[in-house]
Amino acid sequence: MKREQHDLLDRLREALEDADEVRLAGELLEAHAADIAECFEELSDEERSRIIFALPPHLTAEVVGKLDEAVRGEVVEELDTEALTEIVSELPPDDAADVLGELPEKESEEILEHMPDEKSEKIEELLEYDETTAGGIMTPDVVAVPATAS
């Protein structure tokens, strides 16, 4: 863990110990999602849960998308279907497929039903592939760059 991440971890724990939700929210909003995700490796389940619920939805999705698979599984277990739907809706399709692939099929289907059709179709397509194949790790989103771009 880098020094900046260690410092962030200390500040997050202090805010949690002091039950200072305003300071916690401020620390989270100033931090990068990757740094928060790195801190999750060191946090207890209770600390993770409190932080997840303190994050705004767009940042929660970004953090969940950057978590190690084992930690992500533990975090996702703590969330209800409504919260998961909101998070998965914010993720890129390939990350969303990874999260849904770790859930029981019934819960994955319920989440997909509550998402916009276009996004859920992309995710369902990715879920058809084994996660270790090219199809399982690809993203269906396309980036187009004008030919005149330098």
pLDDT digits (tens, 9 = 90+) for 98-150: 999 989 999 999 999 999 899 999 999 999 976 554 444 455 544 455 667 66
pTM: 0.76
Domain boundaries, the chain: 1-79, 92-133
Distance CA 141, CA 14 (A): 40
Q: Return the pLDDT at 142.
A: 43
Question: What is the C-alpha to C-alpha distance for residues 52 and 94, in angstroms, rounded to an integer?
Answer: 21
H and E: helices and strands count for the chain: 11, 0
pLDDT at 135: 45
Structure tokens, 40: 């999750």
